[in-house]
Chain A
Amino acid sequence: MSLVMDQQPIEPGIVLTEEQKRRRRGRSIAIALALGVFVILIFAVTLVKGPGVLVRPM
């Protein structure tokens, strides 16, 4: 069994080009920045509203 498996060609799967890697990295950085801004915004709004952050006016 192991012999048969050893003889199978190794599938490389999807190999990203350098351009695809570069763009993926760009997307990752953008997501990280967006999440960071989102956290800072929610923090600032929470500070401003204080206990009122739990109040849900219609």
Chain B
Amino acid sequence: MSILSERADLAPGLQREVACAEPSMAGAGDYLALMKPRVMSLVVFTALVGLVVAPGHLHPVLAFFALICIAVGAGAAGAFNMWYDADIDVLMERTADRPIPAGRVKPGEALAFGVVLAGFSVVFLGLMINWLAAGLLAFTIFFYAVIYTMWLKRWTPQNIVIGGAAGAFPPMIGWAAATGGIGLESVLLFLIIFFWTPPHFWALSLFRMDEYARAGVPMLPVVSGVAETRRQILLYSLVLAPIGAAPWLLGYAGLAYGVIATLGGVLMVALAWQLYKAPAAAMEPIAKRLFGISILYLFVLFAAILIERGLGLQQFGTPFGLVLA
């Protein structure tokens, strides 16, 4: 029974108060959704690569524990994001069914959930693994929740460029968990994700432009137009391709990785070029293809590093026999 339906005569302010007293309709799955499981899976995968390829040895149980902490920390950042963005999520088709705009989870519940997850993940990563990794995780949560979600997202079309750093930190956290330090190699992994983010999200924004405009989010196509967005996608893809191949070029990864990264980079640039030259009417399917291929590109790149390491084809982090970390 809804309390609110029985108090329809209340002032709007009081109705909000009463709504807060409504029994929760949240299911366990809604709390899982607050953690953005798809984003979390990418975070866990890239953190795993950072952790596995790092020089040194971390006991498998500790490595698993570190990954759980990183996953939960990413989940906390997702919950903070959904808590703050509930007002614009309700305006966009892609996000309208998220737990808060759909009315299943109250904003206060999501915020409390995020605070608990963030606290536990950072503290236990610090206590059980090391405080550098915990500090990086705390900074990542802060960066995503405050710098990106609360500040950049609604302020500048460069939101996902700068905010992309939050998604790029996980391999560095994994590396720090394994080594207690930050190696040049982990910075390379960071840079790959950092420069991958703009073409990936701007491709998405090209076919979700109307929703972003309705919600008042200043994504690049909304502010600077479609032509400029396509030009920026091409430019970032041109930067991404050599950075993607950099671990091989600098001797940190093997030939198999080099071939995959080169072919992947060429494919990304070719699609970005196709998108750049396409007539407006034919743009959407190419943008969708680029969005899908970009996910595959990042996955394959990191998987290649992981497989090379697993098969012992290349000791990531030992160029010319020297450990730089």
Interface residues of A (CB under 8 A from B): 14-17, 19-20, 23-24, 26-27, 29-30, 41-42, 44-45, 47-49, 53, 56-58
Contact = CB atoms under 8 A, between A and B. Distances in A.
A23 B27 contact: yes
Interface size class of B (residues with CB under 8 A): 20 to 34
A48 B65 CA distance: 11
A7 B124 CA distance: 56
What are the nearest 4 A-B pairs in CB distance? A30-B28, A48-B61, A20-B23, A23-B27
B255 interface: no
Contact of A27 (B26, B68, B128): B26
Given A17-B1, A27-B26, A57-B131, A41 B68 contact: yes
B91 to A, nearest CB: 26
Contacts of B59: 48
B131 A58 contact: yes
Interface of A is mostly: helix
B131 A56 contact: yes
Contacts of B27: 23, 26-27
Given A30-B28, A57-B180, A16 B130 contact: no
B3 interface: yes
A27 B3 CA distance: 21
A31 to B, nearest CB: 8
A23 B25 contact: yes
Contacts of B26: 23, 27
B68 to A, nearest CB: 7
